[in-house]
Amino acid sequence: MDEKSMRWEDGFIAVDWGTTNRRAYLIDKSGKCTDEFEDHKGVLSVAAGGFPDAVEEIRQRLADKPLLLAGMVGSNRGWKEAPYVPCPAGLDELARALVWVSEREAIVPGLSFLKNDRADVMRGEEVQLLGAVASGSLDPDGLVCHPGTHNKWATLLKGKISEFRTVMTGELFSLLKDHSILSDLLQGKVEANDIFKDAARYSIFNESLPAELFGVRARVLLGQAKKEDAASYASGLLIGADVRVGLSYPTGANITVIGRPKLTRLYAAAITEAQRTVVELGGKQSFLAGIHEIAKRI
């Protein structure tokens, strides 16, 4: 065993570094997370040339250990670009394509998908999806949904991500909330209630989203709906259309939704309206399982 491998076996820091947020976990020899923190210092908040200082801050807060980083830190807006690995790909392919900044910092590459005229990319979600497979929580031949600003639908084959598609649902809701004629109606809390479910069910089985979104306003103006229900209704329409995309994959496999409970709860409610079985998994534990498997391959 070489010196580099021995250092990593003594423990490391795993970092899920996104566009707006940063999550860091101290992993001991056994693979257990013993300390962690989360902040809003995403890659866009780091000034040009500022990543070495940002990394040093992580070590000061957790420990002087090697770092294994995933997410947008490997993008062209991050520390050092890690080229995408083409699908199909699993943990072995990710580990072989690690980009080393030094002997103590490695960046996990994202995944790419190209087929006919369709192109897609992901960074960060692949660690959670493959981690869930490695931990036995996700069917190695299943269909998985990863909600977020840019939701991912992915199909798995023999434990590898074979195909995926991105739906900009979270960003669309944010844009509508902040910059549209619906803005004043979408400031309320989104709940997975009957209003949300009715909208999701309609959107899953009907292709009229742009018209239905304007209807959010018209329904309130004409007294057909309460203003306080508008956010849940609009979210239901958007997530229902998202689920419609995911269900276009020709598989009857159970659907697993991975991520933060606040979002997985909404997607699970919408998927259930399509009469499909769904399981929710936490994104943190899936990420830790995946990043530990990659570290073991160093």
The mean pLDDT of 171-180, rounded to a whole number, is 97
pLDDT tens profile 25-49: 999 988 899 999 999 999 999 998 9
Q: What residue type is assigned to position 175 of the chain?
A: L
CA distance 260 to 268: 12
pLDDT at 253: 78
Binned at pLDDT 50, 70 and 90, residue 1 comes out as very low
Alpha helices in 97-159 (DSSP H): 125-134
Binned at pLDDT 50, 70 and 90, residue 7 comes out as confident
pLDDT at 48: 86
The mean pLDDT of 202-231, rounded to a whole number, is 97
Across the chain, what does the average pLDDT equal? 95
Q: Which of 168, 237, 152 is nearest to 197 (CA)?
A: 237
| Domains in the chain: ranges and CATH | 3-138+284-296 (3.30.420.300), 167-282 (3.30.420.310)
SS3 content of the chain, % helix, strand, coil (to 5): 40, 25, 35
Q: Which residue reads 């259930």 in tokens?
A: 272
Helix (H) or strand (E) holding 241: helix 230-246
Helix (H) or strand (E) holding 114: strand 111-115
